[in-house]
Structure 1
């Protein structure tokens, strides 16, 4: 399967960690400790003057620009980390299909909203299944969540993370249908659910502690299923749960810390489902990235969601760069390196 277009959007707004934690009943000192320990000083936040339709319109415009010479999608997969109903302005995806010509050929739509932060990689497996079965030709996947209708406190997961807002779009085609030099090849995909963590967000403090303590073990199991090369220099593009979790993972496994990309974490926080793909875009626009300089190199995307859902996949070059000729100019908001 080929990833032929990648679009991302991170809102301009930022919300300080202290503001969020105080809204959840925490003290300024708790916020300072949290920031120092977990490396989360602020998160990206949508403006209350914009809707989720506005966010996804940007994604669609970007995907269309990158797909100018290819067939439009006939299948749409919508991924959310928050299983929350749309606002009073109406359901976002039906409106996009009505108002955006790029989606006029869509014949089928799927929703994934139960696998939390692992959802976008689960959507890759669904797309691969549809393409292999001949039930789809071009699959568009859109993902992302905004918290603008929720309390600030709802962004806070004590002892773990702060949630930010960001959005992502993908176009996927079967290898046999994609131009030989188009995009990135999606390699192995690993999906798993660990039922002992089915309490999700509703666990007790002790249960949540058990889940957080198992993070490294879950990641290791997923990487082993992918055939991850522990000794090479390829990048690991993780969900931005927090700095401590990934530093502990590096210490426990011996993997070099500079292979785990955490550059977006202090700026935008942990964004449901889309973190690894935001980091993938960073790799693709970074001229020194091994993904851009060695066609044999793969990058590994990894996410662990509440409820024990885990997912990972590997991507590699289909040809020499540039894989997405329009990627440098696509998207209205640059991401921090």
Structure 2
């Protein structure tokens, strides 16, 4: 059973108020007020002068367990929102592996689920480890730059921040065991985030709710059994609406990072996990759910249920 061995994250200290991004994001004064007052997005993490490689190394270097077990890391996966983030022939993943002494590992990028790719990478890593020697590990990293307009803002919905995460995965373990995974892909949303945002927002709630319910059912649980929900940090109002519709207490959804970081691409799940651990919100045996949605060439809605 796939389990999380260790998690580390990096969030730059530099924060930019949403008002200061109005120019580069082409936001009107009304849109800025919408983001701050309605969606509760106030500050955005930015790491000026850094590269994708810098971001990945910043998180991976905080994995205190890695130096002692690097020889056991068989796979390295970079979970990415965008298919292309650097010009050819740059390869941040290859360089990161070389600098961390992971040249022996099979390294590749996973991009197919946009911002939900972090969960896909955990699932892929678990499947690969199922056929590997028992002590094998996989390293899943996430982190991207807000380098283009499309990589900086989701129209009327959210703003992207910069940061990164690194997670060691094992095939089986005593805690943070993966109980169930569900993912729903909607090809009919191809490019509609920019051409028909209204239709996407209308169907977003139903699709994410259905995926959450599927994951909970596959885990053999009821929604009431989920002690904590770790969301993607798109905005607060979307989660308030979803919780009202599924009857889940909003105070059991960890939303505190949304105003402080904005949407950190595929790293949101790991950032929220770190916050939950630091605040003592997860006790041994607790079941928690991680949810994410990604939009690009179609839309993906994903959910994972874990036992701490």
Match of 2:176 in 1: 184
The answer as to whether partners of 2:11 and 2:164 remain within 8 angstroms in 1 is: yes
The answer as to whether partners of 1:118 and 1:310 remain within 8 angstroms in 2 is: yes
Secondary structure of 2:273 counterpart: helix
Match of 2:110 in 1: 112
Structure 2 length-normalised TM: 0.90
Match of 1:134 in 2: 132
Is 1:300 the counterpart of 2:293 in the alignment? Answer: no
Match of 1:162 in 2: 159
The answer as to whether partners of 1:72 and 1:105 remain within 8 angstroms in 2 is: no
Is 1:212 the counterpart of 2:209 in the alignment? Answer: no
- Structure 1 residue 215 displacement after superposition: 1.9
Secondary structure of 1:195 counterpart: strand
Q: Which moved more, 1:19-28 or 1:276-285?
A: 19-28
Structure 1 length-normalised TM: 0.82
- Structure 1 residue 260 displacement after superposition: 1.2
Match of 1:269 in 2: 262
Q: Could you tell me how far apart the structure 2 residues matched to 1:296 and 1:97 are?
A: 34
Q: Could you tell me how far apart the structure 1 residues matched to 2:301 and 2:133 are?
A: 26
Q: Which moved more, 1:242-251 or 1:126-135?
A: 126-135
Q: Could you tell me how far apart the structure 2 residues matched to 1:299 and 1:127 are?
A: 20
Root mean square deviation of aligned Cα: 2.1
Counterparts in 2 of 1:233 and 1:116: CA distance versus 1, 3 Å: closer
Aligned length: 299
Q: Could you tell me how far apart the structure 2 residues matched to 1:265 and 1:280 are?
A: 13
- Structure 1 residue 300 displacement after superposition: 0.3
Q: Could you tell me how far apart the structure 2 residues matched to 1:59 and 1:159 are?
A: 30
Counterparts in 2 of 1:72 and 1:47: CA distance versus 1, 3 Å: farther
Match of 2:18 in 1: 17
Match of 1:197 in 2: 189
Gaps of 5+ in 2: none
- Structure 1 residue 85 displacement after superposition: 3.4
The answer as to whether partners of 2:94 and 2:107 remain within 8 angstroms in 1 is: no
The answer as to whether partners of 2:181 and 2:305 remain within 8 angstroms in 1 is: yes
Gaps of 5+ in 1: 318-337
